[in-house]
């Protein structure tokens, strides 16, 4: 277990560290002196739980907790403060527990029980999700010919392989261009998509482009002996084709015989 103690007062950090070490001897404990340091630690390290003081100069504990809670897989939060007037607001921020200074070892022992139960439940959930993903990858993926595409407003839609005209890698991101005229981001590499989309007549024409052969209108000449792939969309989009992949594409379009 990895624990972060956040408090601007060194004696309070020391007192809480001492009690936690008695209750969880194998835990690794790190410290921060304010809310900004806490956010840096959460972003940099893998933490299980944060004991967070509320009244600190600068970024206070409530603001830090709100920011921590926005992370994809946030650590558990326990508020540790001298003032219990913040309890209602604290639990609105999904705190696991709330302890008041001066710290009582029996009360903290109850908190540690809750922490261990919550972490065990999280591990069980993660294991179940991993098992589901592994099963689907082996059993369902060959028949599920769809990709999740993300719009700019962070919504996602399922797109059938047949409705994808081409795939483009741009600025270390990968996008699909659809028959409906949408450009959607996908969370796959070009190499992963090359294998995944091969069942739907996609082929590589360039290190940055995969095309759906069912939507290719023609192959045209570009400048200096280069070639372009002209897509059968309304804009007649022209995509560069490198020599490395050109012969493979022409063979695919020519077909057997």
Q: Residue 156: its pLDDT value, please?
A: 79
Between β-strands 49-52 and 76-81, what pairing exists: parallel, antiparallel or unpaired? parallel
What's the pTM?
Answer: 0.52
165 three-state secondary structure: strand
Q: How far apart are CA 157 and CA 170, in angstroms?
A: 20
Question: What six digits make up the tokens of 119?
Answer: 């972490």
Between β-strands 156-160 and 49-52, what pairing exists: parallel, antiparallel or unpaired? unpaired
Between β-strands 97-100 and 238-241, what pairing exists: parallel, antiparallel or unpaired? unpaired
Q: By the 8 A CB rule, do 231 and 217 touch? A: yes
Structural domains present in the chain: 2-136 (3.40.50.2300), 146-254 (2.40.50.1020)
Q: Residue 141: its pLDDT value, please?
A: 43
45 three-state secondary structure: coil
Q: Residue 251: its pLDDT value, please?
A: 62
Q: How far apart are CA 237 and CA 234, in angstroms?
A: 8
Q: Which helix (H) or strand (E) holds 60?
A: none
Q: Residue 144: its pLDDT value, please?
A: 62
| Cα angle, residue 251 at apex, residues 249 and 257 outer, rounded to 5° | 160
Chunked mean pLDDT (size 10), the chain, 257 residues = 94 94 93 91 88 87 82 84 63 74 91 92 77 57 71 78 94 92 90 88 90 89 76 91 72 54
Q: Residue 148: its pLDDT value, please?
A: 85
42 three-state secondary structure: helix
Q: How far apart are CA 159 and CA 148, in angstroms?
A: 6
Q: Residue 51: its pLDDT value, please?
A: 94
């Amino acid at each position: 277990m990895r624990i972060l103690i956040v408090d601007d007062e060194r004696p309070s950090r020391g007192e809480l560290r001492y009690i936690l070490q008695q209750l969880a001897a194998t835990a690794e404990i790190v410290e921060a002196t304010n809310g900004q340091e806490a956010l840096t630690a959460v972003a940099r390290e893998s933490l299980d739980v944060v004991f967070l003081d509320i009244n600190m100069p600068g970024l206070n504990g409530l603001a830090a907790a709100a920011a921590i809670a926005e992370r994809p897989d946030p650590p558990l939060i326990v508020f540790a403060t001298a003032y219990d007037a913040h309890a209602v607001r604290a639990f609105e921020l999904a705190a696991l527990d709330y302890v008041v200074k001066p710290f009582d070892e029996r009360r903290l022992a109850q908190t540690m029980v809750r922490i261990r139960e919550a972490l065990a439940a999280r591990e069980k959930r993660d294991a179940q999700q991993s098992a589901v993903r592994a099963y689907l990858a082996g059993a369902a993926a060959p028949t599920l010919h769809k990709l999740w595409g993300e719009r700019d407003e962070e919504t996602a839609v399922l797109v059938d392989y047949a409705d994808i005209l081409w795939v483009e890698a741009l600025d270390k991101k990968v996008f699909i261009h659809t028959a409906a005229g949408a450009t959607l981001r996908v969370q796959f590499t070009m190499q992963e998509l090359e294998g995944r989309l091969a069942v739907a007549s996609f082929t590589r024409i360039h290190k940055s482009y995969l095309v759906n052969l069912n939507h290719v209108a023609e192959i045209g000449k570009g400048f200096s002996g280069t070639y372009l792939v002209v897509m059968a969309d309304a804009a007649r989009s022209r995509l560069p084709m490198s020599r490395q992949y050109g012969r493979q594409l022409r063979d695919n379009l020519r077909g057997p015989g």
